[in-house]
Chain A
Amino acid sequence: MTQYEAVIGVECHVELKTQTKMFCGCLNEFGGEPNTKTCPVCLGMPGALPVPNEQALTHIVRTGLAFGAEIPTFSKFDRKNYFYPDMPKDYQISQYDMPLTVGGEVTYWLDDGSLKSCRLTRIHLEEDTGKSTHAGSGDGRIAGSSYSLLDFNRAGVPLMECVSEPELHSARDAVAYLESLRRTLLALGVSDVKMEEGSLRCDANVSVRPAGSDRLGTKTEIKNMNSFRSVERAIESEIARQIGLLESGGRIVQETRGWDELKGVTHSMRSKEEAHDYRYFPDPDLVPLEISRELVDRLQAALPAMPWRRFERYTKEYGLAVNAATQLTDNLSLAQYFDDVVARSRNPQQSSNFVLGELSRLANETGVAVADSKVGVGHLAELIELVEGKKINSKIAKDLLVRMWGGAGSPKALVEREGLAQTSDPAAIERFVDEVLAANEKVVAEYRAGKTNVLGFLVGQVMKASRGKADPALANELVKTKLA
């Protein structure tokens, strides 16, 4: 039986985070009352002219640099001509043969922590369209609708198109690629990258070929995937469909297929037989872009740490588990906080335990981010030092952390002031043990009768009597000895 290999390329459209739209001063903001964020420019009114948003250009160049792309000296805007009601000028200002960035690669990681990369073809800048709502059919779908309603608030929002090479070989890889892309764009601050709000939209080109072959099979383009989960399911389903078709002697047709979330299958949307004739030409309303090497150097120097590099450091240098490393990497402010704690505590594992454990729990409960909480990195490092030096036990540490969250300040000071240091003096603990055994004669008898599982209760009573300060291991040992 033939083994098949999937070949996947991903094309993403990402709305950039800017104050204003790409070519006019209208607010770039998700949602809002329909048609309230428009002007002559983004409505394509007669006589209106586009003027590029410099922030959006910078966002693209920074993104390219983050992925190691080449930034050509010259770039320009072109018009892509086709009629569609949600596109006000009936052409889209885009970039055809001279994109702002060329090449580069996205490094991503899989669940086992292995790092992989996928090359980028290009990243270019264009403008988003308005939104159509298809009405009259009941289900909001275009097919069968009798009319459509248009809202142009989104028209002209700066849009980054990021195209990968067909170098991904599984649905899992494709999602991991997207996750890495998303993390990087968040780290750069160039987009909110929210699939649910449409600020990240992606299509996948999928083909299969016999394993070992270097010829590409006929591809289909998958659309309508609105979460990472649906990307994964859609690609898996499409790969299975294509293999099934080939196995049964069928032929793959090059076409666009839509993902049906409910049915879990892709369905044919339109065939690509009739090629579009977009009549690209340089937009005569805009002048060429010349990106100076000085600007490139300046932007390069100011790039933030790349998430994948952080992940690599956490797993390889710090020895954190993939899950913990991913969780930290995915939360920029938390990761920064974590790095600062580690810089002082020199104990990545314990720091990660506190940051992802108790602190994250408190953050969730209170809705305050860890980095914005009253627990300073210095104080957390002190706490870790107290635990590591066996000055306090973990129960006390937890209690202290809750109080620190409330603004109690230095844990060292608290421990000293309140005498919370762990007792490891056997004589002192022995006194508590004797007290407890004397007060619990019945239980002691039970134990001696063979019901050894009451030991935990007795140790717990000792801990309680010591107000938590007793070294739990020592307490355990002493209780056992006394009962023997």
Chain B
Amino acid sequence: MEETIVRSAAEIARDVNARTTSAAEVTAATLAHAQAVEGEVGSYLTLLRDIAESHARHVDERVRNGAHLPLAGVPIAVKDNMCLENTRTTCGSKILEHWIAPYTATAVARMLEAGAVPIGKANCDEFAMGSSCENSALGVTRNPYDLTRVPGGSSGGSAAAVAAYEAAIGLGSDTGGSIREPGAFCNLIGFKPTYGRISRYGLIAFASSLDQIGPLTRTVQDAALAYDAMAGYDVMDATSIDRPVEPAASGLREDLSGLRVGLVREFDTKVLGEESDALYRSAYRDLERLGAELVDVSLPTADYGLATYYLIAPAECSSNLARFDGVRYGLRVEGEDVRAMYDKTRAAGFGPEVKRRILIGTHALSSGYYDAYYVRAQKARTLIARDFAAAFAGCDLIACPAASCPAFEFNAKSDPYSMYLMDYYTIPMSLAGLPALSVPCGWVTPEGASRPMPIGLQLAAPLFAERLLLGAAHAYERATNHARAHKPELAGVRA
């Protein structure tokens, strides 16, 4: 069984298409393994046993009928903020704890069409707000590399599922780093494409102008396969971009010759501690060794990313989450009139972090504060995007850390702002809409930890340069192979 579950998505698809194995076998093995490790990891809020089995049979039938499916039989974890028809879709919130989605998100539908098999709906921070998965109201997810630590967030369940071999691909959503940070925490590729490249239809909105779906995978090639399956214009999403997709899976490179990689002058890795600093320096040298020319770039306004983000994202969320009002679906707490019903429903249905963001966002949009907060943040966003444009005039890719530290222990970040700082390096790219990913770049042993934890290198590219980005990440992954250095210590997985 272990041989089956540790295979990459590319290998599974190859074998299922060649009919040396079947989607049904892969699905059965994955479900059995998930059953065995879920008690420890807790990746999923809902296991889709019946749906997975019936999808797998359908995939096998399509393959038998001659179809070649790029993701044939590949087990996937779907973050529970994406709709899948007739399944519970909770967003990690009590307010949607029992909601059954009546339709399927475009990105999920495209994965299924490509042959993927949905194993379960993965845990996440409530409404994707958080960096540790601790904000989920419905379950605890642990980091498969150290069960005393968080998997990162908000796509923590999808990350943990892939790291623990409960799926080969995890679908996540990234608003300020919610794919890249858990990717770094769980020794994975965490890839956020250009804003608008993958349809958001059916992705339960946190901050509409920032949200973007992307994959969490154990290899760059798998990320490219998932991207190729999902990317492209969707008539159901007016912000999806109507522009041809350059396939990424055919653009994987073995070296970086001819590429200029920008190192951000303002991002001094010394502040991350000696061990991490050394690993990032060595990662940059590896890029150079692969043929890249390292150049110095400046992002003078990147330091304002957090402030900008923590106005724009909450403002949008305050409006996006208004619809959870107890009228048409979801939780209702009765009240003597409709306003009392709203007040009680939303008080009981939302957790503290969601309330915080709704409140700050409402404030930022309210009369008298709009210009000082929201408009100013939108202007700062322009400056940040301009900084990147100027930087990319002198380089092809930017390299920097993916997160401020490795996976931390539960309850380590009790102050909200210290949690927000986790996304310091990922937020600027989100604000600029850029494609970016995290790729494992080494292992550190945090103070008091019993085993080493992975850290991630972030690579970012200009808008729509996904093919180049994934191609370069592939060369780095092949040359360094950091991800293979350690395995999660879980039942059924040999160290």
Which residues of A line the B interface, CB within 8 A? Answer: 40, 43-52, 79, 81, 83, 85, 88-91, 148, 150, 152, 275, 277, 279, 281, 284-287
Query: Contacts A85-B338, A285-B238; is A47 near B201 (CB within 8 Å)?
Result: yes
A49 and B204: CB pair below 8 A?
A: no
Do B239 and A46 touch (CB < 8 A)? no
User: Is B298 at the interface (CB under 8 A from chain A)?
Assistant: no
Residues of chain B lying within 8 A (CB to CB) of residue A52: 238
Contact assessment for A89 and B238 in the assembled complex, using a CB-CB cutoff below 8 Å: no
A46–B366 CA distance with the chains assembled, in angstroms:
24
Query: A46 and B238 in contact (CB under 8 A), knowing A81-B322, A83-B339?
Result: no
A90 to B203, CA, bound (A): 18
Q: Bound state CA distance, A26 and B209, in angstroms? A: 26
B345–chain A nearest beta-carbon distance, Å: 11
Minimum CB distance partner of B201 in chain A: A49
Asked whether, in the complex, the Cβ of A90 is within 8 Å of the Cβ of B204, the reply is no
Q: Which residues of B contact A286 (CB under 8 A)?
A: 238-239
- Kindly supply a per-residue 1/0 record for chain B positions 185-220, scoring 1 wherever the CB is within 8 Å of any chain A CB and 0 otherwise: 000000000000000111111011100000000000
B338 touches A148 (CB 8 A): yes
Which listed residue (A45, A89, A279, A287) contacts B329, Cβ 8 A? A45
B419: Cβ under 8 A from any A Cβ: no
Interface size bucket, B side? 35 or more
Q: Are B316's CB and A47's CB within 8 A?
A: no
Contact A279 B370 (CB under 8 A): yes
Residues of A within 8 A of B319 (CB): 79, 81, 91, 279, 281
A66–B339 CA distance with the chains assembled, in angstroms = 43
Q: Are B323 and A49 in contact (CB under 8 A)?
A: no
Given contacts A88-B328, A279-B319, A284-B208, contact A49 B200 (CB under 8 A): yes
* Binding-face segment, B96-104, B263-271, B284-292: B96-104
Min CB gap B98→A, angstroms: 13
B318 surroundings in chain A (CB, below 8 A):
81, 279
Q: Would you call B316 and A284 a contact (CB within 8 A)? A: yes
- Does A50 contact B238, Cβ atoms closer than 8 Å? yes
Q: Which of A46, A51, A83, A279 contacts B342 (CB 8 A)?
A: A83
Partner among A49, A88, A89 whose Cβ is within 8 Å of the Cβ of B237: A49
Closest to A147 in B: B338
Chain B residue with minimal CB distance to A279? B365
Whether, in the assembled complex, B91 has its beta carbon less than 8 Å from a beta carbon of chain A, the answer is yes
Known A48-B201, A79-B319, A89-B322: A281·B365 in contact at CB below 8 Å: yes
CA distance A279 to B82 in the complex (A): 28
Measured CA separation A35–B325 after assembly (Å): 18
B225-237 vs A, Cβ < 8 Å mask (1 yes, 0 no)? 0000000000111
Least distance between B375 CB and chain A CB atoms (Å): 9
CB-contact partner of A90 in B82, B103, B208, B325, under 8 A: B325
Interface digits, B334-370 against A, CB 8 Å rule (1 contact, 0 not)?
A: 0000110010000000000000000000100111001
Residues of A within 8 A of B102 (CB): 40, 45
Q: Does B105 contact A (CB under 8 A)?
A: yes
Q: Is the CB of A90 within 8 A of B323?
A: yes
Give 12 new A-B contacts, CB below 8 A, not counting A47-B101, A47-B205, A279-B367.
Answer: A44-B328, A46-B99, A47-B200, A47-B203, A47-B204, A48-B202, A81-B365, A83-B339, A89-B322, A91-B322, A277-B366, A281-B374
Is B18 part of the contact surface with A, judged by Cβ < 8 Å? no
Are A46 and B96 in contact, CB atoms less than 8 angstroms apart? yes
19 A–B contact pairs at CB < 8 A? A45-B101, A45-B102, A46-B91, A46-B324, A47-B105, A50-B238, A79-B319, A81-B318, A88-B323, A89-B322, A90-B322, A91-B319, A148-B338, A277-B366, A279-B366, A281-B315, A281-B365, A285-B205, A285-B239
Q: How far is the CA of A50 from the CA of B323 in the complex (A)?
A: 14
Residues of B within 8 A of A284 (CB): 207-209, 239, 316
Known: A51-B238, A85-B338. A46 touches B323 (CB 8 A): yes
Please measure, in the bound complex, the distance between the C-alpha atom of A470 and the C-alpha atom of B99, giving whole angstroms. Answer: 86
A-B interface, 6 closest residue pairs, ranked by CB to CB distance from nearest: A90-B322, A284-B208, A279-B365, A284-B209, A46-B204, A47-B202
- Residue from A40, A43, A46, A90 with most neighbouring chain B CB atoms (10 Å): A46
Q: In the complex, what residues of B have CB within 8 A of residue A148's CB?
A: 338
Interface pair B367/A277, CB less than 8 Å apart? yes
B209 touches A51 (CB 8 A): no
Cβ of B32 under 8 Å from chain A:
no
Which residues of chain B have C-beta atoms less than 8 A from A51's C-beta? 235-238
Contact residues in B for A79 (Cβ distance below 8 Å): 319
Across the two chains, which residue of chain B brings its CB closest to A80?
Answer: B319
Q: Are the C-beta atoms of A44 and B323 separated by less than 8 Å?
A: yes
- B83 at interface, CB cutoff 8 A: yes
- A152's nearest neighbour on chain B, judged by CB, is B328
Q: Which residues of A contact B36 (CB under 8 A)?
A: none
Give every chain B residue within 8 A of A275 (Cβ-Cβ).
Answer: 367
- How many angstroms from the CA of A52 to the CA of B238 in the assembled complex? 8
Min CB distance, A438 to chain B, in Å?
88
Q: Point out the residue from A150, A152, A277, A285 that lies within 8 Å of B208, measured CB to CB.
A: A285
* CA of A47 to CA of B105, assembled, Å: 8
Does B67 touch A at the CB level, under 8 Å?
A: no
Mask: chain B, 310-333; 1 = CB below 8 Å from A; 0 = not: 000001101100111101110000
Separation in Å of the B380 CB from the closest CB of chain A?
16
Contacts of B323 in A (CB 8 A): 44, 46, 88-90
Kindly provide the distance from the CB of B240 to the nearest chain A CB, expressed in whole angstroms: 9
Q: How far is the CA of A46 from the CA of B96 in the complex (A)?
A: 9
Cα distance, A83 to B358, chains bound together (Å): 14
Cβ-closest chain A residue relative to B199:
A49
Q: Would B322 and A287 count as touching, CB distance under 8 A? A: no
| Chain A hits for B238, CB < 8 A | 49-52, 285-287
Cα A44 to Cα B102 with chains together (Å): 12
Interchain nearest-CB distance for B48 vs A (Å): 18
A145 vs B103: C-alpha distance in the bound complex, in angstroms?
35
A43, B83: Cα distance in complex, Å: 15
Docked-complex contact B208 and A47, CB < 8 angstroms: no
Q: Looking at the complex, which one of B82, B207, B322 makes contact with A47 (CB distance below 8 Å)?
A: B82
Chain A contacts for B276, CB-based, 8 A: none
Bound CA–CA A47/B339 (angstroms):
24
A152 CB → nearest B CB, Å? 8
A24 nearest CB across to chain B (Å): 9
Bound together, the chains give a CA A284 to CA B89 distance in angstroms of: 23
How far apart sit A83 and B327, CA to CA, in the bound complex (Å)?
11
The complex places the Cα of A287 from the Cα of B327 at a distance, in Å, of 29
A residues in contact with B324, CB < 8 Å: 46
Are A287 and B201 neighbours in the complex by a CB distance under 8 Å?
A: no
Cβ contact within 8 Å between B329 and A83: no
Task: List, in ascending order, chain B residues with CB within 8 A of A279's CB.
Answer: 318-319, 362, 365-367, 370
